[in-house]
Structure 1
Amino acid sequence: MKGFCLALGLAAAPAAACDTALLLTIDVSNSIDAAEYALQTDGMADAVLDDEVAEALIEGRVALAVMQWSGVDRQALTIPWHKVRTRADVQDFAAQARLMPRAFVQSDTAPGDAILFALAQFATAPACARRVIDISGDGTPNAGRDTRAAARRAEQSGVTINAIAIESMGLAITTFYRRHVITRDGFVITARRHRDYPRAIREKILREVARVLG
């Protein structure tokens, strides 16, 4: 019995050592200009440096990565998986995010393809109790795979999708993300234009990882 319990403890160790593998994705499609791209990257950096967020990331030993996406065959993992264990890890990730070059310009919007590419990145992620894709964007699809079908594949794989819907007017993008992008256990946060993105991403990351402290 003792050996059996020890085996169970060893089997559970990888998940216990990391609460969440969190893949942050940003939209770099044709609708995103240089200033809006900077708002996304600086907003991401500022969010993880926030004291409350940084503490939750460290306490949960969260693993972070960043992906950029736009049209068909226009997805790239631009910051590989990054284990957060100390404040220095948080600061290093923030510095990489702030200096991250834009991967694509002049491209369509294919969130379905982005989801499928994102799912494949968990093959190299650390072993964590949860796997989460954060997808943000300011438009509906004009290219690529069926978005809802891609989200269903994420559900079947045990991956949660949450979203930031960047609105310019009304709530059309929020409605689309709620109906077609997030998984049943996911949520959408609305950013009122790109200038509200830094506030939204801080709120979203904190909501995803703060349960570690509670």
Structure 2
Amino acid sequence: MIRLALLLALVATPASPGCRLALALGIDVSRSVDARDYAIQREGLLSALADRVIVDAFLKPEDRVALAVFEWSGQAQQDIVLDWTEVAGEAELLSIRDRIAAHRRAADHLPTGLGAALDFGRTLLDRAPDCLARTLDISGDGRSNDGRRPEEIYAAEDFGEMLVNGLPIGGHEADIAVYYRTRVIRGRGAFVEIARTQDDYPRAIRRKLERELTEQLLGRAEGSGRPG
């Protein structure tokens, strides 16, 4: 297995404008996510952002990562937890964790507007800092049941070269991972990282961030070097 340090070194390219990735995390807080589930998701993300492997992936090479976090539920309910922040050092990551920890959930009784969440993530990434790559990371435990469905959003809106990765959470709906693979993820190299249950979310979000910050960027860099 290629070591993390080698992956990070290969990701660096001379053409970088100073930011290698704009990454937006969309977190499901619809009514199927109870208080315990919500706490697991929040603590899992906080733990991942403090993990040494993830910290190193954010900070190396020198080109920065811009991060934004939002919560989503009903088709008209998306709440920005963290607006675009370029991570230049561990101080920024500490501040990011503090802001996530201080955030309070806006609603806990709304349906699952997954299509609207994808569209919100698209518009959020459209105003991200100028980065070489853009990735939307959507997690959720259910199919869209409010507003336009993911396939309708993709048919109507221009996502350009944006990647959409998925973190389906099992335990509420059967075959949710299949749904995310066939309806939610988008773009060459997009992937799903499955959490078997809410209790598995901390492992899944850590692994997903590691892949997005290292392996997936390496694949993009290699792809961009191929002719036509």
Q: 1:157 matched to which residue of 2?
A: 160
Q: Does residue 92 of structure 2 align to residue 92 of structure 1?
A: no
Q: Does residue 172 of structure 2 align to residue 173 of structure 1?
A: no
Aligned-partner Cα distance in 1 for 2:176–2:108: 21
Q: By how many angstroms is 1:213 displaced?
A: 8.3
1:200 to 199, 204, 207: 204
Tell me the alpha carbon deviations over residues 163-202 of structure 1, each in whole angstroms, 9 at most, x when there is no partner.
1110016851100000000003210111011111010000
Q: 2:223 matched to which residue of 1?
A: none
Deviates more, 1:163-172 or 1:54-63: 163-172
Which runs of at least 4 in structure 1 moved beyond 3 Å after TM superposition?
Answer: 151-156, 211-214
Q: 1:5 matched to which residue of 2?
A: none
1:188 to 189, 192, 216: 192
Tell me the alpha carbon deviations over residues 71-105 of structure 1, each in whole angstroms, 9 at most, x when there is no partner.
11011222111110101111111121222211222
- Uncovered stretches (5+) of structure 2, i.e. residues with no partner: 1-13, 220-228
Q: By how many angstroms is 1:67 displaced?
A: 0.7
Q: Does residue 32 of structure 2 align to residue 28 of structure 1?
A: no
SS in 2 for 1:19: strand
Q: Percent identity?
A: 37
- Uncovered stretches (5+) of structure 1, i.e. residues with no partner: 1-11
SS in 1 for 2:151: helix
Aligned-partner Cα distance in 2 for 1:152–1:55: 37
Q: 2:38 matched to which residue of 1?
A: 37
Structure 1 counterpart of 2:47, one-letter code: D
Matches within 5 A, 1:139-150: 139-150=142-153
Q: RMSD of aligned C-alpha atoms?
A: 2.1
Q: 2:77 matched to which residue of 1?
A: 74
Matched pairs, number: 202
